[in-house]
Copies of this chain bind each other. A is one copy, B any other.
């Protein structure tokens, strides 16, 4: 399972880039986040938390690197707050429509 916390304004670009690589299935959640820099400072105002988009995808082991690279390339602006990608193990996947295990 790949969890990517990205800028919300980059969501469409990332989803489109993933679709072009053949990864259509994903789940998206609106979240708020802050990185190690602890929010954005504009003058005296500190924005502690910023809206982020959390994308969840489950892909085959051998596709993880390609998916991560696709997300990095399409989500990156080069500034703080671009987000993170976390890869974690999945033991079983079921498709509810068919009832079948897929891994």
B76:A97 contact, CB within 8 angstroms: yes
Q: Is the CB of B26 within 8 A of A29?
A: no
Counting contact residues on chain A (CB < 8 A from B), the size range is 35 or more
Closest to A75 in B: B96
B84 touches A90 (CB 8 A): no
Cα of A33 to Cα of B54 in the assembled complex, Å: 11
User: Do residues B97 and A80 form an inter-chain contact, with CB atoms below 8 A?
Assistant: yes
Chain B residues, Cβ within 8 Å of A25: 33-36, 84
Classify the secondary structure of A's interface with B: mixed
Instruction: Count identical subunits in the complex.
Output: 3
Bound: A65/B5 CA distance, A: 24
Contact between A88 and B88, CB atoms less than 8 A apart: yes
Interchain CB contact (< 8 A) of A76 among B28, B38, B99: B99
Given contacts A68-B92, A85-B93, A97-B79, contact A33 B26 (CB under 8 A): yes
How far apart sit A77 and B97, CA to CA, in the bound complex (Å)?
7
